[in-house]
């Protein structure tokens, strides 16, 4: 791209010179003149600016490039029909993973401008607010996401975590349960539900979901220990109830 720009600009410059100085001798004299040096300096500066603009445009283009296979995956994962929305969602999540919260937020807002019913965009805004410690804003964003689609597991998970943190155990556990029913693959979700069960002393349920968390993340020592602790407390609780 840059090579083409350089060639075109040089061609234009040469054409203009030949029009004004067709004689070779005159042209040679012009090359040694102060006028040419001034012209060349201005031309070089202009070329530099053009090159900078071209480089910036190329970088921006590459930064926003999303492979077709990634767009297809985003359409499937985020359950959206518009390829442009799927592409922007993919880029927004990449920014969020890179901790570029401002860019992720801007892209989420851009998506909502195109599709006000895009629950995934509200989930992303909720996650950004949560990571900033803005829990009320996060809660509202997750609620809006569920109004768009009540089966968005990640929105239930986000609400569940906030409700548990606010000591609303019934509501928190309900949302966490819905989250793992809708999306069964995340060990963290099972672990957080298990921890919530532990807080309300439902040890049998805690042991079950914590074992699931451990099986999904076999290298996680914390999950193994929590599952073992839940089992021990379940046995102790059962024995206590039996002899009571």
Return d(Cα 197, Cα 199) in angstroms, integer. 5
Return d(Cα 67, Cα 84) in angstroms, integer. 12
Place of tokens 């379940």: 234
Return d(Cα 180, Cα 197) in angstroms, integer. 14
Q: Which fold has domain 66-149?
A: 1.25.40
The confidence score (pLDDT) of residue 242 equals: 54
Domain limits of the chain?
A: 66-149
Each residue's pLDDT tens digit in the chain (244 positions)?
544 444 445 455 554 544 554 554 454 555 455 655 565 565 556 555 555 455 454 444 445 556 766 767 666 666 777 888 889 999 999 999 999 999 999 999 999 999 999 999 999 999 999 999 999 999 999 999 999 999 999 999 999 999 999 999 999 999 999 999 998 778 999 999 999 999 999 999 999 999 999 999 999 999 999 999 999 998 887 665 554 5
Return d(Cα 127, Cα 143) in angstroms, integer. 12
Cα separations in angstroms, 96 against 26, 91, 139, 141, 190: 62, 9, 18, 16, 23
**Residue 21 token pair:** 């100085």
Q: Are 194 and 213 in contact (CB under 8 A)?
A: yes
The confidence score (pLDDT) of residue 127 equals: 97
The confidence score (pLDDT) of residue 82 equals: 82
Helical pair 187-199 and 153-165, crossing angle rounded to 10 deg: 30
The confidence score (pLDDT) of residue 62 equals: 46
Cα separations in angstroms, 166 against 137, 154, 200: 14, 18, 14
Return d(Cα 4, Cα 10) in angstroms, integer. 10
Return d(Cα 91, Cα 83) in angstroms, integer. 12
Cα separations in angstroms, 243 against 202, 205, 229: 19, 22, 21
Verdict on whether the full-model pTM lies above 0.85: no
């Amino acid at each position: 791209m840059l090579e083409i720009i350089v060639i075109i600009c040089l061609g234009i410059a040469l054409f203009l010179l030949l029009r004004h100085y067709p004689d070779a001798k005159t042209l040679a004299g012009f090359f040694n003149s102060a006028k040419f040096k001034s012209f060349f300096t201005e031309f070089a500066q202009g070329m530099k600016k053009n090159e900078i603009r071209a480089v910036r445009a190329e970088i921006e283009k590459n930064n926003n490039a999303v492979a077709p296979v990634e767009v297809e995956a985003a359409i499937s994962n985020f359950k959206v029909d518009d390829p442009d929305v799927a592409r922007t969602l993919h880029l927004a999540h990449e920014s969020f993973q890179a901790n570029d919260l401002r860019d992720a937020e801007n892209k989420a807002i851009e998506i909502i401008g195109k599709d006000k019913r895009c629950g995934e965009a509200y989930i992303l805004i909720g996650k950004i607010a949560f990571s900033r410690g803005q829990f009320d804003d996060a809660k509202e964003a997750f609620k809006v996401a569920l109004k768009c689609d009540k089966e968005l597991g990640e929105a239930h998970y986000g609400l569940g975590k906030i409700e548990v943190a606010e000591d609303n155990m019934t509501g928190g556990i309900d949302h966490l349960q819905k989250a793992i029913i809708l999306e069964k693959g995340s060990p963290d979700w099972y672990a957080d539900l298990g921890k919530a069960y532990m807080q309300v002393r439902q040890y049998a349920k805690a042991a079950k979901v914590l074992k699931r968390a451990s099986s999904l993340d076999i290298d996680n020592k914390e999950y193994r220990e929590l599952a073992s602790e839940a089992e021990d407390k379940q046995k102790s609780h059962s024995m206590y109830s039996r002899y009571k």
